[in-house]
């Protein structure tokens, strides 16, 4: 919004799974679950987008002195990849979006590589998990920064971002899922 995006409807939507209730991310409970543990985000700029969302959600917690000393005071905005112009202002319905062609092949390749890594990890006694948010995020092109990833005065009309998500956004739901997965895992209770 600070880059000139006028619509704000995307702030009102919350992703809800079919047939279940997903609790909202609780930063205090998450920090308590993670006490003494490490969490790594491995991947590209979308993984960084997820990490930034988590840091924003955790920044609501203050320590006993009223500070947020465990978090940096600013976040790098990163480089926005060029892409098409996502001009949608509402989420897609589940029957309006189908993965095909290059995107489907890339997705299948990533799943194959994950399965290979999971097998190798299991062989070495390392547990690796996958939180696949592809289908849910495919329905939310309304929240891509699009042309609003830069200050309007920068005159970068050709640089459009359809890869990352604005914050706050549905990427925050990834942390709802992450917390629920940790709650269900042995050793995170």
Ranges of each domain in the chain: 9-93+139-184
Name which of 22-31, 86-95, 153-162, 166-175 the model is least confident about.
153-162
- Per residue in 105-131, pLDDT (tens digit) is 999 999 999 999 999 999 999 888 888
* Lowest-confidence segment of 12-16, 117-121, 171-175 by average pLDDT: 12-16
Is 0.75 topped by the overall pTM? no
**Is the CB of residue 40 less than 8 Å from the CB of residue 24?**
no
Quote the pLDDT of residue 71: 47
CB-CB contact of 31 with 54 (8 Å): no
Amino acid 5: pLDDT: 78
Per-residue pLDDT at 74 exceeds 50: no
Higher-confidence residue of 53 and 165: namely 53
Q: How far apart are the first and last CA of the chain?
A: 38
pLDDT at 76: 39
Burial of 33 per CB tally in 10 Å (0-12, 13-18, 19+): middle
Give the confidence band of 140 by pLDDT, cuts at 50, 70, 90. Answer: confident
Using CA atoms, how far apart are residues 115 and 113, in angstroms rounded to an integer? Answer: 5
Instruction: Identify which has the larger pLDDT, 152 or 72.
Output: 152
- What pLDDT, on the 0 to 100 scale, is given for residue 30? 93
Average pLDDT over residues 49-64: 84
Beta bridge partners of 146: 161
Q: Is the pLDDT of residue 90 over 60?
A: yes
């Amino acid at each position: 919004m600070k880059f000139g995006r006028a619509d704000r409807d995307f702030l009102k939507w919350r992703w809800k799974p079919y047939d279940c209730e997903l609790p909202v991310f609780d930063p205090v409970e998450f920090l308590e679950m993670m006490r003494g543990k490490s969490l790594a985000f491995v991947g590209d700029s979308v993984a960084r987008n997820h990490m930034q969302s988590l840091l924003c959600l955790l920044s609501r917690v203050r320590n006993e002195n009223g500070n947020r000393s465990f978090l940096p005071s600013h976040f790098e905005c990163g480089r926005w990849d060029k892409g098409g112009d996502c001009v949608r202002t509402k989420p897609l319905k589940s029957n309006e979006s189908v993965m095909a062609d290059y995107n489907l092949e890339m997705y299948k390749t990533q799943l194959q590589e994950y399965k290979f890594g999971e097998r190798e990890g299991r062989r070495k006694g390392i547990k690796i998990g996958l939180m696949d948010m592809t289908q849910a995020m495919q329905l939310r092109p309304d929240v891509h920064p699009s042309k609003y990833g830069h200050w309007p005065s920068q005159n970068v009309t050709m640089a459009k971002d359809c890869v990352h998500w604005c914050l706050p956004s549905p990427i925050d739901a990834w942390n709802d899922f992450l917390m629920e997965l940790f709650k269900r895992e042995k050793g995170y209770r």
